[in-house]
Structure 1
Amino acid sequence: MPKPNQKLTQKQIKQLDKQIVKQLTQVCHIAQNEIDGFVWLTHTVDYANLDKSLKVIFVFATTEQQASAEGEYANKMKAWVVEYLQPLEIKLYNADKQIQFDSEQACDAQHNGNWQHRLACTQ
């Protein structure tokens, strides 16, 4: 893991992103097995400010399933993310704001299913 404020090379960014994806894929599998309606997760990040900019978004099929999971599993999902990023020495600056929840249903209604645009709007 690079030191804070260290400028990363493109190669380091690619390697780090691959490691983040690997760790978050494990979180995804856990969530798929334990939480009704959970479909997938993604992340966004600015590698110039990793700890403060990394966002992890849990995506559910419907807004109802999202709301239910947020009520019942939010703390558990946040703990999984924190735990699985720990080996990479990534400490989220504010996990409550950086770990978010969304739904396919909301993306379809508000952004015509265009996740790339939706995620860009939440940056």
Structure 2
Amino acid sequence: MRKTDKKTDNQIRLFLTDICENFMKEFNGFQWLTHEADYRHFPETLKITLVFDRGDSLDDFLQSDARNQLMFMIQQELSRISVKLPSVENHIAYATEQKG
């Protein structure tokens, strides 16, 4: 990973940490988020995964205004660090901690 890639990755990690901490307080069932990217093909390979405690918490989130608010916040922060994505929603994945 090049030095500029490490800097970008760190900037993404920092703003996602802030978003995560705030969002945990605002949306019941939201647990954490993470990101990954292949910096040889960045930003096309950027993937941010949001993890919820259960499937019904995820369903509630997907049907709420919070989803659009979160997408907007992520898009704003990426723009602030000069990462341009045509549609941030295409780079978001969802998961649950629920087993079985």
Matched residue type, 1:56:
I
Distance 2:26 2:84 in 1: 24
Distance 2:73 2:35 in 1: 14
What TM-score, normalized by structure 1, do the two folds share? Answer: 0.72
Q: In the alignment, is residue 55 of structure 1 matched against residue 47 of structure 2?
A: yes
Aligned length: 99
Matched residue type, 1:52:
E
Q: Between Structure 1 and Structure 2, which shows a larger proportion of helix residues?
A: 1
Matched residue type, 2:86:
Y
What TM-score, normalized by structure 2, do the two folds share? Answer: 0.87
Q: Could you tell me how far 1:12 is from its partner in structure 2?
A: 2.1
Q: In the alignment, is residue 104 of structure 1 matched against residue 97 of structure 2?
A: yes
Matched residue type, 1:95:
V
Q: Alpha carbon RMSD of aligned pairs, Å?
A: 1.5
Gapped regions of structure 1 (runs ≥ 5): 1-8, 110-123
Deviations 1:14-73 (A, max 9, x none): 222111100111111221121111010001111122221111111111111011011102
Gapped regions of structure 2 (runs ≥ 5): none
Q: In the alignment, is residue 30 of structure 1 matched against residue 58 of structure 2?
A: no
Spell out structure 1 runs of 4+ moving beyond 4 A: none
Q: Which structure has the bigger radius of gyration? A: 1
**Aligned residues with identical type, % of pairs:** 28
The structure showing larger relative contact order (alpha-carbon pairs under 8 Å, at least 6 residues apart) is: 2
Matched residue type, 1:68:
D
1:75 aligned residue: 68
1:112 aligned residue: none
